[in-house]
Amino acid sequence: MTFRVSTDLPREIVSLRQSLFLATGGGITIAGVWLLYDMYAEGGVGALEWVLMALFVVLFSQIAFGFSIALWGFLIRLRGERFDIMRTIDGLDESTSPGSTAIVMPVYNEDPARIFRGLENMLVSLKETGQSESFDLFILSDSNQPENWVDEECAWASLCSRLQLHGRVYYRKRRVSLHGKSGNIADFCRRWGRRYRYLVILDADSVMTGKTLVRLARAMDANPTVGIIQTAPKIVRGISFFQRLTQFATHTLGPLFAAGSNFWHLAGGSYWGHNAIIRLQPFMDHCVLPELPGRTADDRHILSHDTVEAALMQQAGYQVWFAFNEDGSYEEGPPNLSESLKRDRRWAQGNLQHFWFLLAPRTHFTNRIHMFFGLMAYLSAPLLVIFIVLSAIDYHGKMKAAIYADRLSDPAWTEAWRNGLLLLSITLLMLFGAKLLGWLHTLPRARQFGGMLRMTASTLLETVTAVLLAPILLWFHTKFVVLTLLGLRVSWKTQNRSDSRIPFAQAVREYGMLPLAGAVVLGVTLYWMPVLTLWLSPILAGWLLAVPLVMVTSSDEVGQWLRRRGLLVIPEETAPPEVLRGLDAIPPALVRPGSSSNLPHYGFAQVLLAPWANAVHIALLRRSNARSHYTAALENITQQLLALGPDAIGRRERMALLWNADALATLHRRIWQTPEENLHPWWREAMHACAESPRSRKE
Amino acid sequence: MGEVIPDELSDWTDACLRLEDYLNAHRIPDREHVLRLNLALVDEARREHARDPSRTPLDVTMSLATQRVEAWFSRLADDSAPSNPRLAARGRALWFTNDLYEQFPSAFLTEPPPDSLRDAVRSVTLRTGPDLELARLTRQEVDYGPMEEIASGTWQQFSWGHVLRAFLIWVCIFFAAYGSYLAFFQK
């Protein structure tokens, strides 16, 4: 049945669903707290127990509400969802063009080959819809590595040429990368935001089908009160064991959490910063990021901008929806735990900043919930550590007292511990129940996941590995929260999505503290409280095995071995969609000739030598660039470069040259005019590569 | 033009090879056209070299070639403006990105360039975006509620001097209380 946002979503439905969601999560939390109180009551509830119960409410509610989302998601998936934003376009005329849409992809030193292969597939897919006239694409680069910059330009120019898309696909390089991704998008809005009705934001690894892009724009056309529609991107193209675990989990559990989230928030959704469509005018009018209270400019800058933008959009009276059931939206996951943690550290700091909005008077209820969950995703780690330590102290005291009073066989005592075991069972049921629901939901499509047996084995493998990885996350999330609270900043770093393997030395350097800590805790508990060792065994196992675990999960070989055996397989692997094909192939403009495969600074050589790369680069530099005069300092750099090769100058100097049109034109002429014997040997190789390069030859 | 003396022969060979590489880098598919250009440019370079033997054959040949190419691409992009590297870059970039070298295999460095080539070059430009339509983005003012006042009050008033003074005061109070206890209540 078609759904109309304007008429078919009464307030009562929203209230009912939010009440049901809160009642489920809240009810489970109350039951858990009751059991814990009952357990404590036997030995007397003192100050320590009250502190423990307060911590328990916070921690247990996270598990309870997580399970609640999965449960409602499962039920919704069983009976179907009427309130799906993408159903608002069912039956509408598909021949009319959707509103003008800018697709923007901010990039920052990511692999240019992967970026442009993904974009090419998207553009081809968009062309096939017959509606591509409504879309322009912008690559907004903040890359600060000379190689990346040159490669991005060459790949862009080649893409425009091959698809005949000049004037529809643009490449812009910012000189000053102010405020990272959010600053890059704000810069786009300032320049061209008024030209477009909608904005689709992509990450460097995002891929969306043309059909999905058109459908999103149509959904925005059909619902003028909708400000943002967020899709649920599927994680695909996993190579390493870690990536394959992540993609399998998001394919089996993701649909439940997505449907469950839409169930409770409906028009009050969140925004994840990419693979989403935004109504531009209200975004520019109302979603320019505010400053946080703080002493320094860094303190005042919002790091995780997406959730705040969704909140501001709702404050302005626009709805934020989650296209939870829409296919054709993809992204890739980090290749190993280290890269995942690097991202977590950034997110931890960003999510903790949202604390300010929790208490802001105008923040909507659903946004407060989103922000609270985001905050607790990291804050719960140190709280759990405190809870475990205090519980151990409490347990030790009570055991000693019970042994002293010879009460271990007392019925009241055993009843209390029976409650404890019941509580543990409920906790485990909720932790693993979501996985079970995910398995049940995936069962009818088991063939796409390698068959029922393999899908079941994959679920078990994913569960066991997740259990072992959880204590490592506990350790690092605690560290991130503490570092953030101490005011140590996090910089915007490139996510490495390609190099996965973590060698032994790196694993020991980054994770060596965990087995040490595990051994100490194991020794202490074995000596003082042997029974507690059993309770702590999942955490101790994760810490003691951290180094081999991190190494094994980072392995491409293990990942591929599992794939060959049909484990951790996802539907996009059994039947790959067209838009994901060929993403590993190198775009023609970036193919290196065999003789130069090991030539360092290859891109830099091309921009100085190859007439095409040199001309494209100069043509894109801004005319008004005040620093484009060929100064004495640049002449000095040039002479060093010619005589000593590119290693004689640093990255900054190479970037300075790349920003200077006069210097590049002069260098291009001078290199071609200088006899080989007056040039550093690197140039000979570079000239040879240039003669063989596809940037010089016909592709 | 005199005979090339044997010592200079290898220098001229180097110059010819470098020139050939340079012309090939412009992806001209008409091989015969490249050879003709190569010969013409080298002949001209020899005459130039005869006038000024202090310069090397490579320098003379490649200076001539790069100047000629730059001027030609400049005119192709815009013949009303004087030749300059930016204009040349624009013309050259479009020569490549629009595959014009394929459509006009024998037109490279011809004077005057064909009108159709000129029109083709000028029909497209390499741009970082469409025409600007500047918008003013105004930062949102958010009321963070009472926490903001408490926090900003703390930051404005906070100093280690205050902390130290408070610490000393409380230490004194503690010892005073403890002393009183010892003096009056301890038996």
Please state whether beta strands A226-231 and A276-279 pair in parallel, antiparallel, or not at all (unpaired).
antiparallel
Cβ separation of A675 and B88 shorter than 8 Å? no
Clarify whether residues B28 and B92 are in a common domain. yes
- Model pLDDT, residue A385: 96
Predicted ipTM? 0.80
**pLDDT band per the 50, 70, 90 thresholds, residue A489:** low
Clarify whether residues B80 and B22 are in a common domain. yes
Q: In what order do the strands lie in the sheet with A234-235?
A: A207-208, A329-331, A234-235
Clarify whether residues B117 and B172 are in a common domain. no
Domain count of chain B?
Answer: 2
* Residue at B159 is within a domain: yes
* Residue at B128 is within a domain: no
On whether the CB atoms of residues A252 and A140 are closer than 8 A, the answer is: no
Residue finishing a domain among B83, B105, B123: B123
Ordered DSSP codes for A475-505: HHHHHHHHHHHTT----------S-----HH
Min Cα separation B171/chain A (Å): 26
Please state whether beta strands A207-208 and A329-331 pair in parallel, antiparallel, or not at all (unpaired).
antiparallel
Q: How many interface pairs between A and B have CB atoms less than 8 angstroms apart?
A: 179
Clarify whether residues B98 and B50 are in a common domain. yes
Mean pLDDT of chain A: 91
* Residue at B107 is within a domain: yes
- Model pLDDT, residue A697: 47
Contacts of A672 (CB under 8 A, 6+ apart): A609, B18, B22, B62, B65, B66
In this predicted structure, the answer to whether residue A201 has a pLDDT above a threshold of 60 is yes
List chain B residues with pLDDT less than 70: 1-7, 151-159, 186-187
* Residue at B76 is within a domain: yes
Cβ separation of B85 and A362 shorter than 8 Å? no
* Residue at B168 is within a domain: yes
Count Cβ atoms below 10 Å from residue B148 Cβ, excluding itself: 16
Of all residues in chain A, the percent with pLDDT exceeding 90 is 73
Clarify whether residues B42 and B104 are in a common domain. yes
Task: Report the residue from B56, B66, B143 with minimal CB separation from A361.
Answer: B143
Task: Report the residue from A619, A675, A697 with minimal CB separation from B90.
Answer: A619
Average pLDDT of the residues in A305-326: 96
What domain range includes position B71? 6-123
Contact residues on chain B for A290, CB-CB shorter than 8 A: 139-142
In this predicted structure, the answer to whether residue A693 has a pLDDT above a threshold of 80 is no
How far apart, in whole angstroms, are the C-alpha atoms of residue A283 and residue A312?
9
Clarify whether residues B39 and B105 are in a common domain. yes
The β-bridge partners of A231 are A323
Cβ separation of A661 and B18 shorter than 8 Å? no
- Model pLDDT, residue A1: 61
In this predicted structure, the answer to whether residue A532 has a pLDDT above a threshold of 90 is no
* Residue at B156 is within a domain: yes
How far apart, in whole angstroms, are the C-alpha atoms of residue A544 and residue A518?
5
Angle, helix A146-163 to helix A611-620, in steps of 10 degrees: 100
Could you give the count of Cα atoms lying within 13 Å of A642 in the half-sphere of its Cβ?
Answer: 21
CATH topology assigned to domain A97-236+256-331+339-374:
Spore Coat Polysaccharide Biosynthesis Protein SpsA; Chain A (3.90.550)
Cis peptide bond prior to A593, omega within 30° of 0: no
- Over residues B120-168, the pLDDT tens digits come to 988 877 889 999 999 999 888 888 887 777 766 665 566 677 778 888 9
* Residue at B94 is within a domain: yes
- Model pLDDT, residue A623: 65
Task: Report the residue from A195, A362, A673 with minimal CB separation from B63.
Answer: A673
Chain A interface disruption, residue of B97, B101, B156, most A CBs within 10 A: B97
Average pLDDT of the residues in A333-356: 93
Clarify whether residues B95 and B158 are in a common domain. no
- Over residues A397-439, the pLDDT tens digits come to 877 777 666 666 677 667 777 888 888 899 999 999 999 999 9
Clarify whether residues B114 and B157 are in a common domain. no
Cβ separation of A665 and B139 shorter than 8 Å? no
Cβ separation of B96 and A157 shorter than 8 Å? yes
Clarify whether residues B117 and B156 are in a common domain. no
Of all residues in chain A, the percent with pLDDT exceeding 70 is 93
**pLDDT band per the 50, 70, 90 thresholds, residue A225:** very high
Task: Look at A63-72, A92-101, A488-497 and tell me which has the smallest mean pLDDT.
Answer: A488-497
Clarify whether residues B103 and B158 are in a common domain. no
Chain B interface disruption, residue of A139, A612, A617, most B CBs within 10 A: A612
- Model pLDDT, residue B84: 86
Average pLDDT of the residues in A449-460: 96
Which pTM does this prediction carry? 0.90
Q: Which secondary-structure segment (H or E) carries A105?
A: strand A101-107
- Model pLDDT, residue A388: 94
Clarify whether residues B39 and B103 are in a common domain. yes
* Residue at B81 is within a domain: yes
Contacts of A170 (CB under 8 A, 6+ apart): A136, A137, A138, A139, B127, B128, B129, B130
- Model pLDDT, residue B80: 87
Contact residues on chain B for A166, CB-CB shorter than 8 A: 97-98, 124, 126
Boundaries of every domain in chain A: 97-236+256-331+339-374, 591-692
Please state whether beta strands A198-201 and A101-107 pair in parallel, antiparallel, or not at all (unpaired).
parallel
**pLDDT band per the 50, 70, 90 thresholds, residue A492:** very low
- Over residues A105-134, the pLDDT tens digits come to 999 999 999 999 999 999 999 999 999 999
Q: In what order do the strands lie in the sheet with A135-141?
A: A169-173, A135-141, A101-107, A198-201, A276-279, A226-231, A319-323
How far apart, in whole angstroms, are the C-alpha atoms of residue A304 and residue A280?
19
Clarify whether residues B168 and B119 are in a common domain. no
- Over residues A583-603, the pLDDT tens digits come to 999 888 888 876 666 788 999
In order of A577, A615, A646, A649, A684, the CA distances from A653 in angstroms are 44, 20, 10, 6, 21
